[in-house]
A = this chain, B = another copy of it.
Amino acid sequence: MQDVAARAGVSMMTVSRVLSKHHKVRESTRQKVLNAVESLKYKPNISARSLAGSKSYFLGLLYDNPNAGYVNQLLFGALKKCHKKGYNLIVDSFEETSNEAEQMVHSLIEQSRIDGIILTPPICDSTHILEALEQAHIPMVRIAPQSNPQRSAYVCMDDFKAARETTEHLISMGHQKIAIIMGPPDHGASRLRLEGFKQALEDHNLPCPEHYMQEGLFTYQSGFESAERLIDNEDRPTAIFACNDDMAAAVISAAHKYQLNVPADISVAGFDDSPIAATIWPKLTTIRQPTIAMAEKAVELLTQSNQEDPRKYILDYEFIRRDSVAKIPKS
């Protein structure tokens, strides 16, 4: 192949240099090579490349997240970017037993000689895994880590800001009695969402009574129970912000149980834009995490050589306005 490409000008050495960027090649010869590549529809052979070079052109993606939708988007973004960059992705997932974690990391490293690895939550906070990777000198990028931010490059979104914006949207629709169903307190992002919620209320001098703050566990059932407590109360809120979509979906179901129409009688906002958000009815107004973009960015960081970049990237979320929030009826 190279042989043929070289035919259109120079030595295959030069072709190699053009293809792998970085190197200084005169612009004119560069163009000649590129043209030849184009017209011959030449595709470099990854195997030969990784065999000859020091790089393997393999990247790892490790996950133990049970949320299929989330993992899928991550995968999608990473795959897309890898494809473009000429890399391959080795995907591995953990079972529950975190004991085998280090072992798996080691075998992944040895077997595939990966050039870098992407760690997703919650596994990205495992100190064991961080250590194993550091010792092996494998570059890593973490997605939304909750701890040890200085320990690797990472990409994340601004949960605080997203929660504040959601709450502000509720306020702008005339709601004054807004309740929140929180996530588990030990979950980092969950805490930030609560803070964002509080900030918005404070900014608008709105009260935040104790019984409007329900503790959820990110599960549908916990959301359902919290919603019942909120609805079956003499001081019923007119809007509920659930810290994830599963709980928001449960709120809608609970509202149905109490003959309440969503959003006419009560508004509901979620968080995540998980598959259920667009499945149920009414469709959920929610926050879409930049999951795909985060994965893409992670691959980009791993495939670039200049490690001196800022090591922290905060990507933009998207506020998805659908059908579960309405103006408060004038009473």
Chain A contacts to B: CB under 8 angstroms: 41, 43, 45-51, 56, 67-69, 71-73, 75-76, 79, 83, 88-93, 110-112, 219-221, 224, 246, 249-250, 252-254, 256-257, 259, 275-276, 279-281
Chain B hits for A281, CB < 8 A: 220-221, 224, 250
User: Contact: A51 with B47, CB < 8 Å?
Assistant: yes
Known: A219-B279, A250-B281, A280-B220. A43 touches B110 (CB 8 A): yes
The winner among A49, A93, A253 for most chain B CB atoms within 10 A is A253
Which residue in B111, B250, B275 is a CB contact (below 8 Å) of A43? B111
How close is A285's CB to chain B, nearest CB, in angstroms? Answer: 16
Alpha-carbon distance between A237 and B46 when the two chains are bound, in angstroms: 60
User: Contact: A275 with B69, CB < 8 Å?
Assistant: yes
Chain B hits for A256, CB < 8 A: 253-254, 256-257
Known: A110-B43, A279-B219. A68 touches B79 (CB 8 A): no
Alpha-carbon distance between A280 and B252 when the two chains are bound, in angstroms: 12
The oligomer's copy count stands at 2
Chain B hits for A46, CB < 8 A: 47, 112
Chain B hits for A220, CB < 8 A: 279-281
Additional 13 contacts, C-beta under 8 A, given A68-B72, A79-B91: A43-B110, A47-B48, A47-B51, A51-B51, A67-B275, A68-B275, A220-B281, A221-B281, A249-B279, A250-B280, A250-B281, A253-B253, A256-B256
Chain B hits for A47, CB < 8 A: 46-51, 56
Alpha-carbon distance between A112 and B82 when the two chains are bound, in angstroms: 13
Alpha-carbon distance between A67 and B276 when the two chains are bound, in angstroms: 11
Chain B hits for A259, CB < 8 A: 257
Alpha-carbon distance between A256 and B89 when the two chains are bound, in angstroms: 45
Alpha-carbon distance between A219 and B279 when the two chains are bound, in angstroms: 7
How close is A103's CB to chain B, nearest CB, in angstroms? Answer: 13
